[in-house]
Chains A and B, each alone.
Chain A
Amino acid sequence: MLTDRSKVVVKKEMTLTERLYLPAIVGGILITIRHFFRKSATIRYPEKKREISDIWRGQHVLKRDDEGAERCTACGLCAVACPAEAITMVAAERKPGEEKLYREEKYASTYEINMLRCIFCGLCEEACPKEAIFLTDRIIETDYTRKGFVFGKDKLVEPVAERVDVTKRQTKDVLDFKKHKEYSHNK
């Protein structure tokens, strides 16, 4: 015997009170009635939302830089990192005059995340060298079709007018790294 936790099973005859069932049933009744008056654990969802963590991993955002140009360069590292293979993209070359729209010479002309495949692990965010993709505390909305869950750039890229705050998702390591101006990434 390795531990003293094991118990010897005894198959003993039930006593008369046990065989009557009624005392046990009364005990059960008292338990259920106690729960009857207990506060319910339900949160009425659409009206009332449960508090979520600051670093909640929800719907992705494709960030723009300070000038409003898209940061994503369609390198595909996020798609490679994605364990659920939820990310697809098509790269395109920036044309003269589009410098305001795209930060670097290469950009993603389409960028799609299948939210039904996504497991919200955040590996895309870790893989991204350009700080272009982040997970946010927004919850994916429901839809009636599978197609509705494939989010394109229209839903993913943040609008210039309303930026999405992702500072909570940026770890200390990232922030430290950003201080080193010698890397081209941080220029």
Chain B
Amino acid sequence: MISFLLYKGIVIGVIFTITLLIAAYSTYAERKVAAFMQDRIGPDRAGPFGILQPLADGLKFIMKEEIIPNVSNKLLFILGPCIGMLTALMAGVIIPWGNTLIVNGNEYSLQIADLNIGILYVFGVVSIGVYGIMIGGWASNNKFSLLGAIRASAQMISYEIAMGLSIIALIIMTGTLSLGEIDVLQAGGAGNDWNFWNVVYQPLGFVIFLICAFAECNRTPFDLPECETELVGGYHTEYSSMKLGFYLFAEYINMFISSAVISTLYFGGYNFPFMNNLGLDHNTITVLGTIALFAKIFFFIFFFMWIRWTVPRFRYDQLMNLGWKMLIPLAVANIFVTGLVLILTRG
């Protein structure tokens, strides 16, 4: 029992650290990617290539004056960013970060908890994430914050539907809600045992899921909640210091987790092509698989930033049109087609 707790504790600690580290360096990467795409250099003063920039940013956030508006509801005002941060970190629990490691004959999974309803857990946690934004925006007692919060929650709730529907098609196909099992089903890939990743069977579902992930993370082109031109800063207008930092940080963690979920669901997670043809032992394959998973995650984080500097922001009615009139019908059609094909092929 003690060893079990110790092993889980270590896994949790490592994943927690990695998540925070990646979120911190996503801010740096974001600025670098933005700079490169605009033919600039980006931050390069703090350390070599500006590698210490996240530390400098964090320090700045901590040292800044903390302002809590008099008219705000103080408890909720503080609770908002906490919930945002908490839910962002919670979703990492069910991601399978790698296959199993075998040490001294004992099998250790690199997944903190393989819930049999993994995907539903992700959706549940993400839905709570809306409360962080809503509470923060409402507690600020500021019209801009409230409008931003309303936009954010309306957007996230709308796109959650399409996201859930796009997942249903995948679940029909795989027959499981557990992320661990979905990963196992995609094992192999190219090589002797042909087995494609889910994206090959669910291209439309993937595109819908990706678009919804952008909306869920409040990223451009769906970053209306913090639309500067209309709403000052959106739901975090009144926030300063580390509380603002938490909101921004939570966004980057969400981006990381979304990338991990996309990689797991559609791109084989820790599986990589020719993994069974290399003739390596189990542990090496697992380590390589984890590296492959992170490569996929980094690609998707890059993709998030790439899109940010490509596509301009949607207008609010366009956003809602896209969500309700395009993505939801498409997702429903995707479910029907998937079901039909499965009935025809599997009998």
Residues of chain A at the chain B interface (Cβ within 8 Å): 22, 25, 28-29, 31-33, 35-42, 44
Contact = CB atoms under 8 A, between A and B. Distances in A.
13 contacts: A25-B310, A29-B306, A31-B310, A32-B37, A32-B306, A33-B37, A33-B306, A36-B33, A36-B37, A37-B36, A40-B40, A40-B41, A42-B41
B102 to A, nearest CB: 41
Contact of B39 (A22, A25, A28, A35): A35
Contact of A38 (B39, B207, B307): B39
B306 A41 contact: no
B74 to A, nearest CB: 38
A40 B36 contact: yes
B92 to A, nearest CB: 28
B40 A42 contact: yes
A33 to B, nearest CB: 7
A31 B309 CA distance: 10
Given A35-B38, A44-B41, 9 more contacts: A28-B311, A29-B306, A31-B310, A35-B36, A39-B39, A41-B39, A42-B40, A42-B41, A44-B44
Nearest to A29: B310
Contacts of A42: 39-41
Contacts, number: 39
B341 interface: no
Q: Chain A's interface: helix, strand, loop or mixed, by majority?
A: helix
B233 to A, nearest CB: 26
B41 A28 contact: no
Interface string B36-60: 1111110010000000000000000
B342 interface: no
Interface residues of B, number: 15
B35 interface: yes
The 4 tightest CB contacts between A and B, nearest first, are A28-B310, A42-B41, A32-B310, A36-B36
A31 B38 CA distance: 11
- Residue among B35, B40, B310, B311 having the largest count of chain A Cβ atoms under 10 Å: B310
Nearest to A31: B310
Contacts of B44: 44
A40 B38 CA distance: 8
Contacts of A28: 310-311
B208 to A, nearest CB: 11
A187 B302 CA distance: 72
Given A32-B309, A32-B310, A33-B306, A41 B37 contact: no
Interface string B182-226: 000000000000000000000000010000000000000000000
The listed residue with most B CB atoms (<10 A of its CB), out of A25, A32, A35, is A32
B36 A25 contact: no
A33 B41 CA distance: 15
Interface string B3-44: 000000000000000000000000000000101111111001
Contact of A40 (B33, B39, B310): B39
Contacts of A33: 37, 306
Contacts of B33: 36
A25 B309 CA distance: 11
Given A32-B306, A40-B35, A25 B311 contact: yes
A22 B33 CA distance: 22
B307 A29 contact: yes
Contacts of B307: 25, 29
Contacts of B40: 40-42
Contacts of A41: 39-40
B307 to A, nearest CB: 7
A44 B43 CA distance: 11
Nearest to A22: B207
Contacts of A32: 37, 306, 309-310
Contacts of B306: 29, 32-33, 36
A24 B31 CA distance: 25
Contacts of A37: 36
Nearest to B322: A21
A25 B35 CA distance: 20
A42 B37 CA distance: 13
Contacts of B39: 35, 38-42
| Most B C-beta atoms less than 10 A away, residue of A22, A29, A36 | A36
